[in-house]
């Protein structure tokens, strides 16, 4: 069968097993981003373009885009309808894919996601009972179960704050990619000094107040003001002297 000069390479020349280069992953992400932004493009056309550029079968790009949907869906972020999440991301590709996703889809490279998937899932629930948290969070067993408890406390405190910093009272400085007000969760008495991981030792505050509470010369006064301002906080006996 004769072939024109602009046809896709014949199947026997298509790479299937060869590793994906950063350039190829980036090009796939750029195409995905256009779909995510709502550009009206033919998906098949995008796969064909990528196939011609990198000599891999068009179907490979569809599967790769479904991998991208899977990572986005795990993070509670929107993904392209019609590219159903497909989780079989190769272990050798996944870290690079996630790094490039952050760079290309989110546009920042060193701060990770604002809220963990467990927290996001809880924030989406209409009713959040007050979690019991942990009075004495173990420092030696920081594994999955710990993390899940932490998520319940974090989600409850974030939701309860209703987008306002509990320290200065101002609105969250911006909304996250998940369209949630951005606040940080702070343990008033640090876990390291025996503070509990419970809602009566935890506040949702803006990044400025958070930095000041950790690094400011007036940190102790600010902490005393937090105790006075937020009724649910329980002053632990050893803190009473410092905050009065
Ligand atoms: Zn604040
Ligand atoms: Zn903190």
pLDDT in tens, 21-56: 889 999 999 999 888 878 888 999 999 999 999 999
Structure tokens at 20: 């994906």
Ligand 2 centre distance from Cα of residue 133 (Å)? 17
Residue 171 has pLDDT above 70, yes or no: yes
Q: How confident is the model at residue 145 (pLDDT cuts 50, 70, 90)?
A: very low
Measured from the alpha carbon of residue 203, the closest ligand is 2
Measured from the alpha carbon of residue 184, the closest ligand is 2
How many other β-carbons are positioned within 10 Å of the β-carbon of residue 6?
6
Q: What is the pLDDT of residue 108?
A: 44
Ligand 1 centre distance from Cα of residue 224 (Å)? 14
Q: What is the pLDDT of residue 18?
A: 76
Ligand 2 centre distance from Cα of residue 40 (Å)? 44
User: Looking at residues 57-81, what average pLDDT do you find?
Assistant: 89
Q: What is the pLDDT of residue 209?
A: 95
Residue that wins the pLDDT comparison between 113 and 45: 45
Could you tell me how many residues make up the chain? Answer: 244
Ligand 1 centre distance from Cα of residue 207 (Å)? 7
Residue 153 has pLDDT above 90, yes or no: yes
Q: How far apart are the first and last CA of the chain?
A: 89
Q: How confident is the model at residue 88 (pLDDT cuts 50, 70, 90)?
A: confident
Ligand 1 centre distance from Cα of residue 165 (Å)? 5
What is the rounded CA–CA span in Å between residue 103 and residue 214?
29
User: Looking at residues 55-81, what average pLDDT do you find?
Assistant: 89
Ligand 2 centre distance from Cα of residue 163 (Å)? 17
Q: What is the pTM of this model?
A: 0.51
Residue 241 has pLDDT above 70, yes or no: no
Ligand 1 centre distance from Cα of residue 186 (Å)? 11
* Residue position matching structure tokens 């490039």: 100
**% residues pLDDT > 90 (the chain):** 41
Residue that wins the pLDDT comparison between 91 and 241: 91
Residue 86 has pLDDT above 80, yes or no: yes
Ligand 1 centre distance from Cα of residue 175 (Å)? 15
- So where are the chain's domains? 11-106, 117-243
Residue 58 has pLDDT above 50, yes or no: yes
Ligand 1 centre distance from Cα of residue 190 (Å)? 18
Measured from the alpha carbon of residue 211, the closest ligand is 2
Sign of the CA dihedral with 122 first, then 127, 130, and 132 last = negative
**% residues pLDDT > 70 (the chain):** 81
Q: What is the pLDDT of residue 139?
A: 55
Measured from the alpha carbon of residue 182, the closest ligand is 1
Model confidence pLDDT, tens digit, residues 188-232: 988 777 788 899 999 999 999 999 998 888 888 999 999 999 999
Ligand 1 centre distance from Cα of residue 204 (Å)? 9
- What does pLDDT average to over the chain? 82
Residue 123 has pLDDT above 80, yes or no: yes
Helix axes 219-229, 207-215, angle to 10 degrees: 130
Spatial neighbors of 163 by CB under 8 A, at least 6 apart, are 171, 172, 181, 183
Q: What is the pLDDT of residue 124?
A: 83
What is the rounded CA–CA span in Å between residue 9 and residue 14?
7
Q: What is the pLDDT of residue 16?
A: 60
Measured from the alpha carbon of residue 185, the closest ligand is 2
User: Looking at residues 117-139, what average pLDDT do you find?
Assistant: 82
Ligand 1 centre distance from Cα of residue 105 (Å)? 29
Measured from the alpha carbon of residue 214, the closest ligand is 2
Ligand 2 centre distance from Cα of residue 210 (Å)? 6
Measured from the alpha carbon of residue 168, the closest ligand is 1
């Amino acid at each position: 069968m004769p072939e024109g000069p602009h046809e896709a390479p014949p199947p026997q020349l298509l790479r299937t097993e060869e590793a994906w280069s950063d350039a190829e992953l980036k090009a796939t992400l750029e195409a995905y981003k256009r779909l995510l932004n709502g550009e009206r493009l033919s998906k098949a056309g995008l796969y064909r373009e990528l196939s011609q550029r990198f000599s891999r079968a068009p179907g490979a790009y569809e599967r790769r885009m479904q991998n991208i949907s899977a990572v986005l869906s795990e993070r509670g972020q929107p993904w392209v309808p019609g590219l159903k999440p497909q989780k079989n991301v190769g272990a050798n590709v996944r870290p690079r894919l996630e790094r490039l996703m952050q760079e290309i889809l989110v546009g920042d490279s060193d701060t990770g996601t604002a809220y963990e998937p467990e927290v996001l899932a809880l924030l989406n629930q209409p009713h959040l009972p007050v979690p019991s948290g942990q009075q004495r969070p173990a420092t030696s067993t920081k594994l999955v179960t710990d993390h899940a408890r932490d998520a319940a406390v974090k989600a409850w405190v974030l939701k309860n704050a209703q987008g306002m910093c509990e320290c200065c009272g101002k609105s969250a400085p911006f909304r996250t990619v998940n369209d949630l007000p951005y606040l940080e969760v702070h343990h008033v008495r640090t876990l390291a000094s025996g503070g509990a991981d419970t809602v009566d030792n935890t506040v949702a505050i803006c990044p400025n107040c958070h930095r000041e509470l950790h690094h400011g010369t007036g940190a102790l006064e600010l902490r005393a003001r937090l105790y006075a301002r937020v009724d649910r906080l329980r002053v632990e006996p050893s803190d009473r002297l410092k905050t009065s």
